[in-house]
Amino acid sequence: MKKIYALFFIVSVVTSLNCFAQKAQSDNGDGTYTNPVIAADFPDPDVICVNDTYYMVTTTMFVFPGVTVLKSKDLVNWEYCSNAVPRFDFSKCYNLDGCKRYGHGQWATSLKYNNGKFYLLFITLDEGGFICSATKAEGPWQITKLPKGFYDPGLFFDEDGKIYVAHGYSEIRMTELDKNFAPISKDSLVYKGDIRKGLEGTHVYKINGYYYLYCTYGGLDGIQVALRSKNIYGPYEQKIVMSEKTHGPNFGIHQGALIKTNTNEWWTVLFVDSGPFGRFPSLQPVTWTNDWPIVGVYGKAVITYKKPNVGKSYPIKILPTSDEFNSKKLGMQWGWNHNPDSAKWSLKEKSGFLRLKTASVVDSLQKARNTLTQRMFAYYSDTLASIATTKMNFEKMKDGDIAGIAVFQDPYAYCGIKKLNGKNYIIMVNNGKVIDSVVVNGSAIYLRANAIYGSGAAHYGGGKAATGSGDAYFSYSYNDKLYSKIGNELKMRFNLKIFTGNKFCLFNYATKELGGFVDFDWFRTSAGSIKQ
């Protein structure tokens, strides 16, 4: 019987901008929290409150199950609620069948609740518009393709029963929809961005008689603005409500949602481009001045701040990352790189193991189906790396098969076993090039990936680091005690060709013939020294 594995992190209080506790969650345990509110790739957030629960949807693009919905009782401690789209069967490209959808797929999603139903409205750049609906945020969700798609849509149910969507890039337009979310009006231009190119990410609210379009001028140095009008079609006036230029965990904070608590506090969840680990959500207080929602405190985004007052206290929660593969279902932290071939993986064929069978014959990891991925999490420290370790049994691999652990974006790298001419080799591949190769014996091996998000808050908090790279390196062991480094370092990047943060991956693909498989015993993550 496998040993049950658990990892607990010390919770300590953040006392200054440059002193981050070595922990895995935002809640400091003393009535305060530290941004980012989730230190991982959850971009383009939209957040709503239904009864006493807050729900957030984020972008997952080409990863399925996807369109991740989280829930929270206090806006600080989040947990997985559902992945609204288990798979996306609207193009063969989502099966990596001769084409791909890296950098495409589901984009910024609008989350609303109306008349007892949850709605998710999003666009894919290639397939168009889609609406998902459910009576419970936990699902099941029903997905429907729409006759028209809307870029960065902001869905809005007005008090008179009419339905609208605000949408567009640089030029924001308003369209009335019918009950089936098909357009029944023209796309009316209501505002043309005049600060710079790229006004987008619109969310629509009606507050105190004003219609508000809560938008961003995106980019690393993003600017959050509010537009307001007494008429939904305008004219709108504009105000900058946040423009954070201090390098650190809130540099360029932008694009997200306004939220009112049951205690009448106002907050906003925006995101920050945070380097190779992706785009991290940030929770900021909002005050109203002359009917404008002003973000932060005295014009500055907060790093450590008092938690929202939601009427009671709730326990600290940590989003899961490790997995013993003892369940009959994958944890909600996992997603496949494009749609999986469901017949080629199993948690049941060997109890307590994830079995990955080769699903297609390809020449690179980028084309391989059934690559299982999850987000990398930064820790609230300036000296730690995010470490992923797995134990893999490889005795049933076929000649030409390659299986192991990867850090995936563009560029990517991996460490794993390659079976060639009857021999097993442990190899390290960096962006398609074999860097190192060692003959191995036996049938099982421990593989490890260390992803270093750098020294200093700016490395996981945006600013210059968001355009730079972090390092990742790989090692292996025969006993899970002594690890040997293999190959060279991957210079991680956040490349818009992929458009998601770097991810840890488990994979197995064939280069010659199908029929082989590997068994992953467990996958465990931890924080560690950059020298480890």
Q: What positions carry a catalytic annotation?
A: 44, 200
Residues 6+ positions from 287 with CB-CB distance below 8 Å: 266, 293, 294
Residues 6+ positions from 308 with CB-CB distance below 8 Å: 74, 75, 76, 261, 265, 267, 283
Name the helix (H) or strand (E) containing 438: strand 433-440
How far apart, in whole angstroms, are the C-alpha atoms of residue 510 and residue 403? Answer: 9
Please check whether residue 241 is in contact with residue 295, taking contact to mean a CB–CB distance below 8 angstroms.
yes
The torsion defined by the Cα of 385, 390, 394 and 396, in degrees rounded to 10, comes to -130
135: its two tokens: 């009576």
Asked whether the CA dihedral 456, 461, 462, 463 is positive or negative, the reply is negative
Cα end-to-end span (Å), the chain: 29
Please write down the long-range contacts of 133-141, taking CB distance under 8 Å and 24 or more positions apart.
Answer: 134/82, 134/84, 137/50, 137/53, 137/55, 137/69, 137/71, 137/81, 137/82, 138/81, 138/82, 139/82, 139/84, 141/67, 141/82, 141/84, 141/85
Q: What is the CA radius of gyration of the chain?
A: 23
Closest among 79, 164, 58 to 114, alpha carbons compared? 164
Residue reference for tokens 């009576």: 135
Closest among 163, 129, 159 to 146, alpha carbons compared? 129
How far apart, in whole angstroms, are the C-alpha atoms of residue 295 and residue 259? Answer: 12
Closest among 229, 228, 260, 233 to 162, alpha carbons compared? 233
Q: Reduce the DSSP state of residue 216 to 3 states and report it.
A: strand
**φ, ψ of residue 353 in degrees (nearest 5):** -135, 150
How far apart, in whole angstroms, are the C-alpha atoms of residue 35 and residue 26? Answer: 6
What are the helix and strand counts (H, E) for the chain?
A: 1, 37
Query: What residue ranges in 86-159 does DSSP mark as E strands?
Result: 110-114, 117-124, 128-134, 142-145, 154-157
